[in-house]
Amino acid sequence: MKKIIPIKDLRNTNEISKMCKETNEPIHVTKNGYSDLVIMSHSCYKRGLKEMVPVDPITFNDDEFEEQDEALGYIKVSSCNIKGKIGHVKDNAKNIISKIKELSNLNSKIIVFPELVLTSYSCEDMFLSNTLISNVYKGLENILDATKEIDSFIVISSPLLKDNSLYNCAIAIFKGEILGVVPKEITSSKESRYFSTYEGNLDYINIFNKKVPFGNKLLFINKRYLNQKISIGFSKENLDYNANIFCKLNVEEEVENSSEIRKMLETSTSIENKVAVILSSSSYDESSSEVVYSGYNLIVEPDGVLKESSLFDSSSITSDIDLDRIEILRRNKKKKVSSNTIYFSSEINFSSLDRKYEPFPFINREDPLNQARKILLTQAKALERRLRQISCNNVVLGISGGLDSTISLLVCVKAFDLMNLDRKQIHAITLPCFGTTSRTKDNATTLCEKLGVSLSTVNIKEAVTVHLNDINVSLSDRSVTFENAQARERTQVLMDYSNKVNGIVIGTGDLSEIALGWATYNGDHMSNYNVNCSLPKTLIRSMAQYLSDDFVEVKDILLDILDTPVSPELLPPEEGKISQITEDKIGPYELHDFFLYHFIYHNLDVVKVYKLACSTFEIKYTKEVIKNWFVHFIKRFFNNQFKRSCSPDGPKVTKVSLSPRSSFFLPSDASGYDFINKLNEVD
């Protein structure tokens, strides 16, 4: 029975406060015998907001949020369709329930079905039948009853009646409750025969005697994992500004190239809006008369496609969406207030990662040859532009017989061919010293001769010996002074030789070495133009392998260089073989490039990158080895920023560059201490 008091009693504030809290219901205040005001306790007010009105996140109290689940930023999602029967709502509901249970058992936390899955899209004039609509509500009730204990956010679609108008609706369901309904905003001429369009603001629809939010843009946020922000609907117009997941329900006839176009469009939506898209399309069971549907499903992130189904396949697809990464991409995105926000509370019990990461993220696994050719051409065109800018027709570079200088030489050859310049104006210089082996020296010499470039040899042993004597360093010394004296002497020779031929020195250092600071300051660290500055070592290796077929005259040499251990060759050889193996000293480049890609380029949390590396390289390296080299990477990366702060120009030809002028900004005094501490706390 509702409580009523006259307005004159409002002066008894303490008594009214006590009454409100005890009843925890609204109290009606009358004036002159007529209802005038309603007062209530704060807890009653909050309960009413939660039950009747989507809560504005600006006014939502912090104490309402729940303890956040630890999920490393991942959430498992599924896109699926069913073997539907046209107009057989009961059977379709049964198949939907079966699919939901199957996927929830796989720990999928978002499950998306296609447009009008409950009835099938192809019902046509059956949509005008009261019997079909009556069965829709029975089928929907069966789905709600069957999902009361299922902790997954479910999106289905069916016709629904509101104010005696029929709407094609996307329905958000969680634990047997309908959270919200999004009506289709744009209908085709054929659809308009059955369905109304809705373009109004937020309203409510009565479903099973409950008021449910009804509107074109609804945002669903998980209170236990606030980074899970979901929009649902049929087109980009339904996408809320602040959502990072868009559940898109689709029906589209399958014609030539239509699936490729859909993939392109959804990828574009994902990149443009910094959102993951879960696309579910109608099954081929829908129709065989005028059109054919393919059941094409897709899960895509801004960084690329995660999973797609084969055409005419009714099975589901499931993948782990990286919400961490998406939120990083959205960090500086202009925010707008979501007025229609609905909260739910779903446990994110992340246990294992099904998603697989590429061990070589810089390499295009599908077409490495085409990637190598495009990169080489881009490097060559950049060098051509620089040479034309400074009216220079000669270049100088040191050739060691290693991978980096080999790729730099190929770039020069490509650029000079494009410019119709004589390859003899490429001045390659070998600079043997204490650590040079016959294998690398012979490979460097043969490579230059077969490519038809000018070749000189400047033995720097005597010059380095004199210099070391000048500063009282013994030739038996094996310190960094002994090593760096050679590197700086080589750079001095190259710089002076470039003056002699009126050319510029082409750098050879790659992105991995730049990241690790594996270069002698003002030695191989320096050049006039570094064509390799955004190529990591793993990609350099891939290029050498695949370009060997394009440079047939030096194919055998390229393959032997590829097979040679990476070394600066600054220490004397042992029994004629390289004694100084770079990866023994600083760690495997495949690990460092993985860290570089995910930790520096993608800005992922250090613990997350470590766990990704453990999952990706579990067969090859132990967790202890991975952690050791990750700590080593962080130390070297931060300690060597001062070298990157004064690095030479060079073209950005991959996604990643550490240029201090355009791509990566870090003070030389920055410390990686906190990252290392956090990493060391992980098991």
pLDDT at 457 over 70: yes
Return the amino acid letter for 364. Answer: N
Of the listed ranges 70-84, 89-103, 263-277, 601-615, the least confidently predicted one is 70-84
What separation in angstroms does the CA of 307 have from each of 476, 598, 615? 58, 20, 19
The DSSP element (H or E) to which 49 belongs, if any, is helix 42-52
Query: Which residues lie across from 317 on neighbouring strands?
Result: 79
Mean pLDDT of 622-647: 96
Mean pLDDT of 459-487: 91
Q: What's the pLDDT at 63?
A: 44
- Report the candidate in 158, 155, 149 with the shortest Cα–Cα distance to residue 118: 158
Q: What's the pLDDT at 636?
A: 96
Q: What's the pLDDT at 58?
A: 32
What is the Cα–Cα distance from 229 to 273, expressed in whole angstroms? 13
What is the Cα–Cα distance from 528 to 530, expressed in whole angstroms? 7
pLDDT at 339 over 70: no
What is the Cα–Cα distance from 398 to 569, expressed in whole angstroms? 13
pLDDT category of residue 491 using cuts at 50, 70 and 90: very high
pLDDT (tens digit per residue) in 346-359: 988 766 777 889 99
Q: What's the pLDDT at 59?
A: 33
What is the Cα–Cα distance from 233 to 248, expressed in whole angstroms? 5
What is the Cα–Cα distance from 405 to 408, expressed in whole angstroms? 5
Mean pLDDT of 467-481: 90
Q: How many CB atoms lie within 10 A of CB 208?
A: 11
Q: Answer with the residue of higher pLDDT: 418 or 254.
A: 418
Q: What's the pLDDT at 351?
A: 64
pLDDT at 402 over 60: yes
Average pLDDT of the chain? 87
What is the Cα–Cα distance from 243 to 274, expressed in whole angstroms? 9
- Specify whether the backbone of 618 is left (phi greater than 0), alpha (psi in -120 to 50) or beta: alpha
Q: What's the pLDDT at 478?
A: 85
pLDDT at 3 over 50: yes
pLDDT at 233 over 70: yes
Burial code (b: 16+ CB inside 10 Å, e: under 16) for 512-534 equals bbbbbbbbbeebbbbbbbbbbbb
pLDDT (tens digit per residue) in 555-604: 999 999 998 877 766 667 676 666 567 788 899 999 999 999 999 999 99
Q: What's the pLDDT at 61?
A: 39
What is the Cα–Cα distance from 200 to 198, expressed in whole angstroms? 6
pLDDT at 285 over 70: no
Q: What's the pLDDT at 255?
A: 59
3-state secondary structure of 332: coil
Q: What's the pLDDT at 37?
A: 78
Mean pLDDT of 653-666: 93
pLDDT category of residue 331 using cuts at 50, 70 and 90: confident
Q: pTM surpassing 0.85?
A: no
Return the residue matching tokens 């937020």.
202
Mean pLDDT of 268-295: 79
Q: Where are the beta strands (DSSP E) in 200-297?
A: 203-207, 210-214, 219-222, 225-233, 245-250, 276-281
Q: Which residues, 6 or more positions from 602, have their beta carbon under 8 angstroms from its beta carbon? A: 303, 325, 328
pLDDT cut 90: percent of the chain above it: 62
- The gap from C-alpha 677 to its chain's centroid, in whole angstroms, comes to 25
pLDDT at 682 over 90: no
Q: Contact at 8 Å (CB) between 221 and 228?
A: yes
Q: What's the pLDDT at 250?
A: 82
pLDDT at 404 over 90: yes
- Report the candidate in 639, 403, 679, 412 with the shortest Cα–Cα distance to residue 535: 403
Q: What's the pLDDT at 630?
A: 97
Dihedral of CA atoms 25, 31, 37, 42 in degrees, nearest 10, equals -50
Pairing type for strands 304-308 and 317-322 reads unpaired
What is the Cα–Cα distance from 417 to 387, expressed in whole angstroms? 13
What is the Cα–Cα distance from 229 to 238, expressed in whole angstroms? 14
Q: Answer with the residue of higher pLDDT: 106 or 291.
A: 106
